[in-house]
Structure 1
Amino acid sequence: MSTPEQLTEHFLLAARGSEARALGQLVHSCQLVAAVCELVHELQRERGISNVFLASAGQEFAEELKQQNGRTNTASDHFCDYLQRVQSGQDQLWSSARLYHRIAHVLLQLKDLAELRNSIEQGNLTTAQATEAWSGLIAELLSVLFEIADIAADAEISRALVALFHFLQAKEHTGQERAWGCVGFAAEAFDTEILARLQHLRESQQRCLDVFVRFAEPEEVWFWEQLEQAPAKAELVRMRKVIDALGEGAAVPHGVSETWFAVATARIDGMRELEEQLSADLQAMAGERLEKARKALQDNRSRLEAEPPAEPVSAFSLLLDASSDSEQVPAAGSVRALYDLLQEQADHLQQVSDQLEEARSALTERKLVERAKGLMMQYQKMTEEEAFASLRRAAMEGNCRLIDVAARVVAAAEKLKG
């Protein structure tokens, strides 16, 4: 039968081993993140090219669309190949049912990609309908990244995932702005709904970028600041002013959609460069953290094995020694080593918990706001833009945070259901 010291040693090392296994899962998750980033970017490009193709009744970008189909298919194959390795047991599995559900939903939508493309090729969809269809698939892919960030148990990686997710979300809002701008230019007029949607997308970009700057590394923030000063941003701002100056119902010169597409694409391609860097930094960080955890496990094991057996010493007496102002008399043997390692691990876990709390607060706030918007869209028949505008207006009038208003909406809905 094991002694209390032997049991303590076993569970102490088991804790370190559990941390290493969790980081091993995160390393594989970061590979999935890279595959998702690649696929999202290609889908965003195909969405934009499809809009110009539809807006021109198939006269523009036909060849570009065919080439983009191939690039998107390649990215989709990379995504599915990774999942095939997971399914066959070659890579570690995750512990989140929500993540598996999100992945299954993405795969189901990817199956219908050929049908969507055929409808676009035949001209059976409007630019608005095509935009909604592409955006729905991209949203599902981004939700996979959200779930990975939500279950990450390492503080440094969690912060990096939060930064990457919000940057990707900002890039997607930019992509949607490109798509809906093409819709308005193609119709040669911007109605109230499209103008409101474009304004909402601009504001959404900034909110996501604010979170990105908060959690990103200094060098990543510097890279972003350089993009903000690049000509592509200045051109985008100029085109936005053109749209604002047109106003509702004003006639739009013919052929401007291609110019708008080129300007918005230059901005998005610049963001893609930083996105790739963020993904590479994340994978490198995960590998380093895993190696560090494995070394810590081996160090703990070596320290325990190096200690000679000792006379029984209680942990309580060691605690009194540690808190005493008098000169401490070291206790020989494995009990002292166990106590020291337990204290080090407790400090480590507390530090991780504190750092995770900050990172997850950003995800929790997003979930709450999204849920509140969904409830308002469902029960008050609002659009997403109207729901968010209502939440924001209530926060400003009540001089409180947006998340506080969202919490009240969710609480009121749950009370009504009850």
Structure 2
Amino acid sequence: MSTGLNFLVAALRCEIDALEELARTSDLVGDIGRLVHALQRERGLSNGVLASGGHQFAGRREEQVLECLACEQAVRAGFDALAVDRRRHTANGSRLFSRIAWVLPGLDALPALRLRIGGLQLDPAQATAAFIKLVAGLLAVVFEAADGATDPDISRRLVALFNFMQGKEFAGQERACGAAAFGAGRSELARQQQWLQLIASQEASFHTFAEFASATLAARWRASQSPAQLAELERLRRVACSAPAGALLDTGLSASWFDGCSQRIDAMQAIEAELAAELRLLSQARIAQARAELEAHERLLARWAQQPPTASADFFFGSADRSAPLATGDTATPAYGRHLERSILQLVQEQAHRLQSMGDELETVRVALNERKLVERAKGLLMAHRRLSEDDAHKMLRQTAMNQKRRLVEVAESVLAMADFLPKDAAP
């Protein structure tokens, strides 16, 4: 018959399985980060090619496509590995695999998109929208990995990594937006508004990153931002964002803008790589710790099999001092058995306390993830009832938050609270 210790050992084995699964997913997150970085650069170069009518960035774009293909193969291999081992993904496997299923057709469509860009058959806005959709799908895979984490420390690192990647994506969109603006040589009001929203979105994402990252990496992120580089970035932002609608912009600034943004984003990529490495080391440490505990428990289980105690009920329900030595006349259970019994129940109690503590910490970490879910639900509601695109729905939420000086999640909550009062089929 199985004992409590048998199930405690089984619990540790399940914990190790979950940690190993999380470690594999974390490796995939690192591969996704490298692919996203490569696609972000390709997006910016593609915008430069299209905005200049093919006169700028063409050679650099072709080189970048080769880098993207190599990164894509690594991600596809990671997806395949998860598919082979799918039975072990019990926490949020359904959502994770659904995200992967959604993003794979986007990767399959990249060759056709690149042909159209090379043939100048798209405008910068269309190319940007296509890349944004694909990158958003890849980041959604990272989000599900963070949402499914069962270890609070690993979960914090994943939340930090996701928000940093999200902030970096907004920075990449800003690079593409600026490349299109300077490449076209003319200021547009809609693009200026989009630009300002991207700046605000970056700040919000990096704030959340700093909240959940380790103190070391948060400090390194602050130190990586060169004052001279930021000053030049702000200067070019002012040139483009403060110009009157229809005003001419210096097309010669396109390359300067792109290269300056690229230096900043490359510095972000270095921080992102450190985040991924930190996550990998933490996962390995957690697995090693759990295995050591399992070995100790299995040794205790072997001792139990040799001489099982006979006074479990008395020990479990009794109120006597468990640290006191046994009386000389107490022969119901040998001292060896009673001490073994104490050890087992202490382990069970420690495991219960640890799980409770982990649950409390995870609840705190998942507040940030739940806020994103609220924003996504509010966007979906606006898309359905106002017939907006996803980008326009997000812009509406962001603009409302800026106008009312409220947090984005607060605006999302207000929208969701009004769901029952919205018409079922709004007019276009």
TM-score (norm 1): 0.91
Q: How many angstroms apart in 1 are the aligned matches of 2:400 and 2:96?
A: 31
Per-residue deviation at 1:333?
4.8
**1:6-17 matched pairs, under 5 angstroms:** 6-17=2-13
Q: Does 1:64 align with 2:92?
A: no
Residue 255 in 1 paired to residue 261 in 2? no
Q: How does 1:34-73 map to 2 (within 5 A)?
A: 34-73=30-69
Work out the CA distance in 2 between the residues paired with 1:417 and 1:98.
30
Letter in 2 for 1:23: L
Specify the code of the residue in structure 2 equivalent to 1:21: D
Once residues 415 and 295 of structure 1 are traced to their aligned partners in structure 2, the CA distance between those partners, rounded to angstroms, is 57
Does residue 120 of the first structure (1) align with residue 130 of the second (2)? Answer: no
Corresponding residue of 1:214: 211
Q: What one-letter code is carried by the residue in structure 2 that aligns with 1:335?
A: E
Give the match's secondary structure for 2:319. Answer: helix
Q: Identical aligned pairs, as a percentage? A: 36
**Shift, 1:221, TM fit:** 0.8
Q: Is the 8 A contact 1:54 1:126 kept in 2?
A: yes
Of 363, 366, 369, 1:363 maps to 369
Q: How do residues 258-273 of structure 1 correspond to structure 2 at under 5 angstroms?
A: 258-273=255-270
1:390 aligned to 2:400?
Answer: yes
**Contact kept? 2:139, 2:166, Cα under 8 Å:** yes
Structure 2 unmatched runs, 5+: 327-334
Within the alignment, does 1:310 sit opposite 2:309 as a pair? yes
Matched residue type, 2:352: A
Q: Deviations over 1:359-398 (max 9, x none)?
A: 11100011102221332244235522122222454564xx
In structure 1, distance between residues paired with 2:140 and 2:280:
19
- Using the alignment, how far apart are the partners of 2:380 and 2:243 within structure 1? 32
Residue 240 of structure 1: how far off its partner (Å): 1.2
Alpha-carbon distance change, 408 to 321 in structure 1, aligned in 2, over 3 angstroms = farther
Q: Quick one: distance in 1 between partners of 2:250 and 2:267?
A: 28
User: How far, CA to CA, are the matches of 2:320 and 2:199 in structure 1?
Assistant: 60
- Deviation, structure 1 residue 238: 1.9
Query: Do the aligned residues in 2 keep the contact of 1:368 with 1:407 (CA within 8 Å)?
Result: yes
> Given the superposition, is the C-alpha separation of residues 173 and 33 from structure 1 closer, same or farther in structure 2, using an over 3 Å criterion?
same
Cα separation, 2, equivalents of 1:150 and 1:381 = 29
Instruction: Pick from 369, 380, 391 the counterpart of residue 386 of structure 2.
Output: 380
- Residue identity in the other structure for 2:60: E
Shift of 1:90: 10
Moved more, 258-267 or 156-165: 258-267
SS at match of 2:247: coil
Give the Å deviation of 1:25. Answer: 0.2
CA RMSD after TM alignment: 2.3
Query: In the alignment, which residue of structure 2 is the partner of 1:337?
Result: 343
Q: 1:316 to 1:262 in 2, by over 3 A?
A: same
Q: Which residue of 1 aligns with 2:331?
A: none
Q: Report what 1:320 is aligned to.
A: 319
CA distance in 2, matches of 1:97, 1:91: 11
Q: Verify: 1:147 aligned to 2:144, yes or no.
A: yes
- TM-score normalised by structure 2 residue count: 0.89
Q: For the Cα contact (< 8 Å) 1:311–1:333, is it kept in 2? A: no
- 2:95 counterpart (78, 98, 101): 98
Letter in 2 for 1:336: R
1:29 Cα deviation from its structure 2 partner: 0.5
- For residues 280 and 319 of structure 1, do their structure 2 counterparts lie closer, same or farther at Cα, with a shift above 3 Å needed? farther
Q: Secondary structure at the match of 2:15?
A: helix
- Preserved CA contact (<8 Å) 1:36 1:141: yes
* Residue 126 of structure 1: how far off its partner (Å): 0.2
- Aligned partner letter, 1:346: A
How many equivalent residue pairs? 407
The 1:374/1:72 distance shift into structure 2, 3 A limit, reads same
